[in-house]
Amino acid sequence: MADAPATDTPVVGPVSAPDDVLRVEHISKRFGPVTALRDINLHLKKGEVLGLLGDNGAGKSTLIKILCGFQKQDSGEMFLHGKPYAPKSVDDARAQGIETVYQDLALIDELSVYHNLFLRKERVHRPLPLLANAQMKREARAALDEIGINIPRIDVAVARLSGGQRQAIAVARTVNSDADIILLDEPLAAMGAKEGAQILDLVARLKAEGKVSIIMILHNYVHVLQACDRVSMIQDGTIALDKPTAETSVDELTEIVVNEYRRAREETRAEQAAGEAS
Amino acid sequence: MASTASTPAAGGPSSAPPRNEPGGLRIGWREVLSRVLALREGSIIAVTIIVAIYFSANTSTFFTGENFKTLLPYFAPLAILGAGEVFVMILGEIDLSIGGMYMFAPIVFYKLETAGLGLVPSLVLSVLVCSVVGAVNGAFVAIVGVSSFVATLGMLFTFEGLSLILSHGTPVATPGAQIHQTTVLVHHVVNGHNIVLPEKVNHVSTFANIFGAGTYSELIWAAAIVLILQVVLTFTRWGLYTVAIGSNKLGAAEAGVRVKLVVIRNFVMCASLAGLVGVLEAIRSQTIQPDPSGPNELLLIAIAGAVIGGTLLAGGSGTVVGAFIGALFLGILDDGLILQGVDANYKLFYTGLAIIVAMTANVYVARARRGHSGSG
């Protein structure tokens, strides 16, 4: 059970710059006996698209959930626009400009497309507390048209949409807000190439506008190199690599993962050997 | 694709019905019928009308004003209980404690009134006590994480037991509901002779008339509560979040909906309404009966009414108006069977069968709806 020497060597540290919109320092998180995040350092520049890679269970989703205020870290600090950032809730994070699209598709099946788009941002007939449905429908339609998402009807329950359409709605939900940081947890999961391309185009368009900064969890290296400015890879609860996509390649990223698998195999073998010896 | 938005089947999946596209101009009776059936309450409206027609045709007394008045006190309390229960059931939870609240509130009302508090303050406080119990129910479910069935079953027995303890199991006259008799002289014409006879006339106080004793009192309460709560469910954030939580609790939480708050709020409302119904019924019947068998039956029938009205026990879907019509259906069934002279021993049996038939019809209509485009 001796620590592998590799983990003691300094990982690629954050290169902080004054224009960082978001900075994460030494974040750790445990769930009972499971350490999800060991020591995460991360930074995001204004207008940047950061791709987050990592094996299943490496802690990517946990990190996203901490960033968006759904869970709280055990230790470490976060800074938003240079100021300490400790969201009390998802609402609080959103009020501070951080919006999230979750991996588990946080859409509400029984609600219509436009109610999903406006969930927690409903328009009401002030001063009455009644929902301004017509206004929400109009705005939802306009927002979807603007970002080029084609949904035939916006007053049907989202349960009746295809996987790709649902994901598009989920992404649109964040775009349709005043957020300046958007977190996308596997936006291309459960998508065909055509729909996936639509989402990547949407991300490219947002990047071109330069108003929002995006952190995106992806599995496909090609997508990362295509859509992101920079890539961070989480391994074993820490950032194992942090590089501009221009300076890395599919080969390098693959190499890291291959090495990880090799190490994991060796550890298992060593443990088995130790078990047999005793 | 966007230009086809006006045809109902446009946004639907490939399971769209193979029948002809309904023309926008020709709206025949078939179209009207299919629109009604496409409503969530559609099937129970149809079934209720059929049952009412059946009893009207088979008994001479069903379709009369007098009978309607006897029907009211049966279904109005169920409609109010059902309205509160719908808000809990859409969350995917259930509240069995309504029977306990129904029994407990009148006893609190009696204790407070006999302790010297006014009628209205006693009523308000007794309902507020139920609100607190509702908050505890909600806290058990939302914060502690006890299943709502278990938590509210415990509360049901606890408060029925507490009711027996506080009342010593003895019935009492409901405060404010006493009948005052005044003697008036009434002129009669008997065999051509004018005679004047003293007659006793019953009066109840305005308080009692408003809170249950008036012929239409409970109906008005039920209609007002159902109307308001249907608006709350369909047109406010509260309703939207209730459906959202019932449909996808984690998703709603991740979107920032304060799930615990909504859950607790709905349990508070459900328990409060049950307490109110308990007091209304005690005033109507003039006695406070500390007997748990009535409330136990009532709570199950109220839930049955909500389910028949199209509210899913699994959550995510339901309507208050549906629960109202479901209660009306059960009321008509009960009343009609009595009028038809069905052996009292068979009544519960028939009621049970009717619930099963109505529920099965609901399932089929719900299936048909999926091919259809309901807008919410």
pLDDT digits (tens, 9 = 90+) for A52-98: 988 777 788 889 889 989 889 999 999 999 899 999 988 889 889 99
Q: Is A98 helix (H, G, I), strand (E, B) or coil?
A: strand
The Cβ of residue B197 has, within 10 Å, a number of other Cβ atoms equal to 10
- Output the CA torsion B110→B114→B117→B122 (10° steps): 0
Q: Taking CB atoms and an 8 Å limit, are B250 and A106 in contact across chains? A: yes
Return the higher-pLDDT residue of B363 and A27. Answer: A27
Kindly state whether B317 is in contact with chain A, defined as any CB-CB distance less than 8 angstroms.
yes
Report pLDDT digits (tens) over A102-141: 755 678 988 999 999 899 889 999 888 999 999 999 999 9
pLDDT digits (tens, 9 = 90+) for A27-55: 999 988 888 898 899 999 988 999 998 87
pLDDT of residue A13 exceeding 60:
no
Output the pLDDT for position B147. Answer: 96
Cα A59 to Cα A148, A189, A223, A239, B361: the distances in Å are: 32, 17, 20, 10, 48
| Higher-pLDDT residue of B28, B105 | B105
Among all residues of chain A, which has the CA nearest to that of B14?
A160
Distance CA(B177)–CA(B167), nearest Å, equals 18
Across the interface, which of A115, A119, A153 has its CB nearest the CB of B10?
A153
**A19-28, A269-278, B9-18, B173-182: which has the minimum mean pLDDT?**
B9-18
Residue B100 tokens read as 């306990």
Q: List CB contacts (< 8 A) between B316 and chain A.
A: 109-110
Give yes or no for a contact between A184 and A215, defined as CB atoms under 8 angstroms apart. Answer: yes
Residue with tokens 């190490």: A263
CB nearest to B316's CB, from A89, A107, A110: A110
Distance of CA B295 to the CA centre of its chain: 14
pLDDT at B239 over 70: yes
- Tens digit of each residue's pLDDT (9 = 90 or more) over B296-332: 999 999 999 998 888 877 788 889 999 999 999 999 9
A197 touches chain B (CB under 8 A): no
C-alpha B331/C-alpha B268 separation (Å) is: 26
A3 or B115, greater pLDDT: B115
d(CA B122, CA B110): 8
Question: Which tops the pLDDT comparison, B29 or A205?
Answer: A205
Show residues of chain B in contact with A133, CB under 8 Å.
235
A105 contacts on B by Cβ (under 8 Å): 251
What residue of B is the nearest CA neighbor of A68? B254
* Alpha carbons A228 and B226: distance in angstroms, whole number: 53
Tell how strand B180-190 and strand A20-31 pair up. unpaired
- Residue B9: CB atoms within 10 A of its CB come to 16
Cβ of A156 within 8 Å of Cβ of B2? The answer is no
Residue B54 phi, psi dihedral angles, 5° rounding? -60, -50
DSSP calls for A209-266: HTS-EEEEE-S-HHHHHHH-SEEEEEETTEEEEEEEGGG--HHHHHHHHHHHHHHHHH
Question: Is the pLDDT at B24 greater than 50, yes or no?
Answer: no
Q: What is the pLDDT of residues A244-268, one digit of tens each?
A: 988 888 888 888 888 878 888 888 8
Report the residue of chain B nearest A162, measured CA to CA.
Answer: B13
Separation between Cα atoms, residue B50 and residue A144, nearest integer Å: 45
Cis ω before A127 (30° cut-off from 0): yes
Q: Is A105 helix (H, G, I), strand (E, B) or coil?
A: coil
Give the N- to C-terminal CA distance of chain B in Å, as an integer.
21
Q: Does B314 touch chain A (CB under 8 A)?
A: no
> Looking at CA atoms only, how far is residue A111 from chain B in angstroms?
7
Burial bucket for residue A132 (CB in 10 Å: 0-12, 13-18, 19+): middle
Q: Which residues contact B228 (CB under 8 A, 6 or more apart)?
A: none
Q: Has residue B369 got a pLDDT over 50?
A: yes
| Distance of alpha carbon A10 from alpha carbon A241, whole angstroms | 11
Question: Which residues of chain A have a CB within 8 Å of the CB of B254?
Answer: 70, 90, 100, 102, 104, 106
Interchain proximity A156–B12, CB inside 8 Å = yes
Higher pLDDT, B125 or A64: B125
Quote the pTM value.
0.78
CB A122 to CB B1 under 8 A? no
**Which pLDDT score, from 0 to 100, does residue A16 have?**
53
Using the predicted structure, report yes or no on whether residue B15 has a pLDDT greater than 70. no
Closest chain A residue to B7 measured between Cα atoms? A153
Select the residue from A64, A114, A120 to test the B interface by mutation, using most B Cβ atoms within 10 A.
A120
Do B256 and A122 count as a contact with CB atoms less than 8 A apart?
no
Q: Does A105 touch chain B (CB under 8 A)?
A: yes
What percent of chain B stands above pLDDT 90?
Answer: 52
Interfacial B residues in 3-32 facing A (CB < 8 Å)? 4-5, 10-13
Q: Which two tokens stand for residue A75?
A: 């230790």
pLDDT at position B282 is 96
Residue A105 CA: distances (Å) to CA of A89, A188, B376: 19, 11, 21
Contact present, A28 and A42 (Cβ < 8 Å): no
Distance CA B165, CA B170 (A): 10
